[in-house]
Chain A
């Protein structure tokens, strides 16, 4: 038996049906990979071995009966933002120390109903606030990729750093992630994985710890475009428990993979060509344009004039919502409580001890921009900017089918390199934030290798609920890029 951890979800699906190995063997192989590799990468914060093996055995019974489901036996990692029944869920924050939900998030429940198997809970930035996975209360996640000739630890990006690192290091075949400003696409780009942020409302938010409600969206991180399509098909769907989820039928996403892009119109937004952008990013972008042209697509230069306001507006809207969403963590009902002289003292001590610096920064920013006298100047204005950004996209999508942009302004950076400067950290999301502000779907596809020997991604953005377009065009990029180098396994200890 060759190593099943190296297979994609699509390949594993066939192997399981062909009984090349059992789901239990598959789960065990991944648990072994976690066992040997996680100490170095810190991607998993809570492996769930017994649960995984139980579920895998149940899958084997179904496979034996020929009663398989779309993701039968597929081993996944679950970002710690998703509430998992009876399994500790903390959003990687001390404020939720020891919290075990009595309920399962809709997205993970959908995956279990499709036959997937949970290997454990994945590290992430605290409350998904961060772009390097350095704000987690469980310590940073390490990127399996290293710069050529260097042992320096690199970040996997964030906030879904654990998801990206675990998938890139073959510790799981796919992982759930969430994206509020780029938290799926940026780490995917920095780890050479495929990261999809679906249309806002495509996946239910019920049972997922909220960061910024109007921006949060769950999506998959996988090692191929086809796997991304398979996983989204299982995760997506209308949920009456989330009134912002949209009642649109879930199409057969996988069917879009491999479809020709001949005659499709691809827009190249000029505003994404930013001053000071590394040459290699520009080069990669041009390479992407050439690939799509070769595949028969028509290219068009387009303009999204309000792009430059997206990031500053995002850093008003997201913290504003977060400041309110995080008010429930007060030490009264669950999670951490630090006793105080009176209720106010208890609140203050609990929240001071429970939240990390970045979360506190955003709660303070959010509280400030919603305060009397500042609301109009900040929050209201940011919402107007958001409307303009949405309109930019609507106008452009009257002419083109999809947009191609870089996913990140640069490759993976070293641990601690940017954590001292919040603004520099925030700039990591410059290309990903507009899709969140407009609710549109975006995908990051591994497309090349930087001068440092680390991966780089390209981003596609499509119309609302046209994820099929992302899989169709994304697959073309994936094919054109060919087999990219893999990170050399330095993290496993035998």
Chain B
């Protein structure tokens, strides 16, 4: 096991230490125009039942035809997870009755998935790298949606999602803490978004996780696990695991036994509750779908997809560190979101100095975005505008303080930074005579302070503040400093 021998995340209890063992099944909606086995659209937000083909509605005599783009997306994802691609895989039927499953079976892959074992590397906040094994990835159909709140007596069914392609990505039980589980889903999401194989939108349900949790004494055999179904945010994944692990420990410490079961996480209470026990589990009667031949493709097909794979977060991080000397942490934060990394790269491409750009993007830009609570790509300040701001700062056209004001101005007005500097007279004053005039005025108007500064040179800052105030922050601070020292005869500290 990749993560063995890292017993750092123990839960301490009065009876001794406990270790969590976590495995994840992530369902990721494949980015594709059409569904897995029909030509119906997959776009989110359409009127109920507007995107349903005869196949999706399981009309008599209808047959599934595999969507090649979904196959390519699954292979790309497998490659991005450093996984074995299976040149032959088989679609099976998973049989059960439910109104949002029109066929009475879900077409999935059971014994022969399209992607086999792989691995994902996680950078944890403590600087350690964790490796989580991927057990498999398979393609399957999503179900429709039952609507129970439309009518007092009946339920309604929306089949828009019925038949949409999902990738189920199953990890090995290599995860040992809720933080690792969250880092795993974040990383997986990041890889999928880089690949363009899943939009990773957890709110719209494009990415959701089933979490398998068990606890054991360090070094002992695996305990009985419980599966928490359909957790749809990274925060909830953390909460669900923490609650579930403690629930299990409490039961065992009280002399009880864990019952293998499927549980649901309730975000309102932060608790998990039983959904069905092992005895109530379905017998899905899997068998190969006779409507579909085994899925076969060549190694050349895989190689071609591999050759056109985009740069992935780990590769990008390494490149940023090598080419631009970025700190590991900064590079990690930058590449976590593709939009962020692209934005940064765009700025550097436009001539921004990398060290200044990373600092500016992660602090000024991201800080404002987080404060406003909007998506990165929705921020009104473009990479071009930010580059212009940084360039003007570097050239001494504006001061660092003005740069921040200017940024806010661009955010609010959407204007061009260079024009704004001109129009609003924000240019840094570097004319010695002009600055000297103000310095002289300040010195002349404050004889008491002039006396004071001779005894306490550190009070020079008060004069600097006065000058800056009088010039509206536009005076070059270094020049102000230097002139004041000369006039007041204060040595360089």
Contact = CB atoms under 8 A, between A and B. Distances in A.
B292 A101 contact: no
B155 A343 contact: yes
B57 interface: yes
A64 to B, nearest CB: 35
Interface string B22-63: 000000000000000000000000000000001001111111
Interface stretch (A117-125, A157-165, A241-249, A419-427): A241-249
- Interface size range of chain A in the complex: 35 or more
Given A324-B93, A343-B99, A210 B61 contact: yes
Nearest to B282: A372
| From A103, A213, A332, A344, residue with most partner B Cβ within 10 Å | A332
B57 A333 contact: yes
Contacts of A214: 290
Given A103-B54, A324-B95, A379-B287, A330 B104 contact: yes
B194 interface: no
| From B58, B285, B286, B293, residue with most partner A Cβ within 10 Å | B285
B61 A243 contact: no
Contacts of A209: 60-61
B125 interface: no
Contact of A332 (B54, B66, B95, B102): B102
Interface string B140-174: 00000000000000010100000000000000000
Nearest to A240: B65
B104 A208 contact: no
Given A321-B290, A327-B97, A103 B59 contact: yes
B293 A243 contact: yes
Interface string A204-222: 0111111011100000000
A206 B63 contact: yes
B103 A328 contact: yes
Interface in B337-362: none
B287 A320 contact: yes
A328 B290 contact: no
Nearest to A328: B58
Nearest to B159: A333
A331 to B, nearest CB: 10
Given A240-B65, A243-B291, A244-B291, A327 B60 contact: no
B423 interface: no
A241 B65 contact: yes
A375 interface: yes
B104 A324 contact: yes
Given A332-B102, A343-B99, A99 B60 contact: yes
A48 interface: no
A333 B65 contact: no
A230 interface: no
A397 B109 CA distance: 35
A371 B285 contact: yes
B105 interface: yes
- Interface size range of chain B in the complex: 20 to 34
Contacts of A213: 290-291
A475 B92 CA distance: 42
Given A243-B66, A324-B104, A370 B287 contact: yes
A411 to B, nearest CB: 33
B283 interface: yes
Contact of A333 (B102, B283, B286, B287): B102
B287 A330 contact: no
Given A205-B63, A327-B105, A332 B287 contact: no
A209 B285 CA distance: 22
Contacts of A321: 290
A231 interface: no
Nearest to B60: A209
Contacts of B62: 206-207
A327 B104 CA distance: 5
Interface in A322-354: 323-324, 326-328, 330, 332-334, 343-344, 347
A375 to B, nearest CB: 7
Contact of A243 (B63, B102, B287): B63
Contacts of A343: 99, 155
A327 B61 contact: no
A334 B61 contact: no
| From B66, B95, B97, B155, residue with most partner A Cβ within 10 Å | B97
Given A213-B291, A379-B287, A83 B95 contact: no
Nearest to A243: B65
Contacts of B287: 320, 324, 370, 375, 379
A68 interface: no
A105 B59 CA distance: 12
Contact of A101 (B59, B103, B293): B59
Nearest to A366: B285
Contacts of A103: 54, 59
Contacts of A207: 61-62
Nearest to B55: A241
Nearest to B104: A327
Given A241-B63, A324-B285, A333-B58, A212 B103 contact: no
Contacts of B290: 212-214, 244, 321
A244 B157 CA distance: 31
Contacts of A333: 57-59, 102
B95 A105 contact: no
A370 B65 contact: no
Nearest to A320: B287
Given A210-B61, A370-B95, A324 B105 contact: yes
Nearest to B146: A343
A209 B63 CA distance: 10
A214 B292 CA distance: 9
B293 A105 contact: no
B188 to A, nearest CB: 31
Contacts of B63: 205-206, 241-244
Contact of B61 (A208, A330, A370): A208
A327 to B, nearest CB: 2
B398 to A, nearest CB: 64
A141 B105 CA distance: 34
A212 B287 CA distance: 13
A318 to B, nearest CB: 10
B65 A332 contact: no
A367 interface: yes
A200 to B, nearest CB: 11
A392 to B, nearest CB: 21
A327 B293 contact: no
A205 B65 CA distance: 13
Interface in B247-286: 283, 285-286
A312 B95 CA distance: 24
Interface in A79-108: 83, 89, 91, 96, 99, 101-103, 105
A332 B59 contact: no
B60 A91 contact: yes
B420 to A, nearest CB: 59
A207 B63 CA distance: 8
Interface string B53-89: 0100111111111100000000000000000000000
Listed from nearest, the 10 A-B pairs whose CB atoms lie closest are: A327-B104, A213-B290, A214-B290, A370-B285, A328-B58, A207-B61, A209-B60, A372-B283, A83-B61, A213-B291
7 contacts: A101-B61, A207-B62, A208-B61, A209-B61, A243-B64, A243-B66, A371-B285
Given A89-B60, A324-B285, A375-B286, 17 more contacts: A96-B60, A102-B54, A105-B61, A206-B61, A209-B61, A213-B290, A213-B291, A214-B290, A243-B293, A244-B291, A324-B95, A327-B97, A327-B104, A328-B102, A347-B97, A370-B95, A379-B287
